[in-house]
Every structure is written in structure tokens, then in C-alpha cells.
Amino acid sequence: IGIAMGALGSDAAIEAADIVLMTDAPSKISQAIRISRRTHRIVMQNIIFALGVKGIALVLGAFGLIHMLAAVFADVGVSVIAIINAMRAMKIKE
């Protein structure tokens, strides 16, 4: 993983880097790792939750236990809940 530090660094280094820290403080690397781990955890929660609810709706729909309209509401509801859950990533403390 390449890390470029400082906004005044060379454009080639910034373009080639996987991570760009806008300050020259090496201590920000640990903060970037913490933010990435929390973001990854939130993304995985959203994926597992969405696939789980959609799978349940699919099985119930296949057996005729729910109507198509209920499956549509479940799909929209999962999307809204995933968006709200993803907003937690914006509240990461420095």
C-alpha cells in the first residue's frame, strides 16, 4: 500500500498512492487505519443485512407468503436503513 503525505507533495506521488494524507503528520496513519476499519465494518453490516432481508423476502415470495408489494417495501426499507447505517461513518472522531 502506497501512502503519500502532504497536499504539497508531487502530483506523481499523489496519483500513484493508494492513500493520500493531506497533512505531514505520520500520526495520522493510525487514524486512517481506524477510519478504514470502521468503514469496512459498516459496509459489511449493510451488505449482510441487505442480502439477508432480500433472501428472506425471496423465500417468502417463492412460497406465496408475501405479495409483490410487500417485497418492494422490504427492498426500499432495506435501502433506507442501509443509508442511515452508512451515515454512522461520518461521525468518526479524530
6 sits in the region (left: phi over 0; alpha: psi -120 to 50; else beta) called: left
Domain hosting residue 51, numbered range = 3-91
The CA distance from 2 to 61, in Å, is: 47
**Segment 20-63, tens digit of pLDDT:** 888 888 888 888 888 889 999 999 999 999 999 999 999 998 99
Counting Cα atoms < 13 Å in the Cβ hemisphere of 81 gives 14
pTM of the model: 0.75
Domain tally for the chain? 1
Span 55-72, mean pLDDT? 90
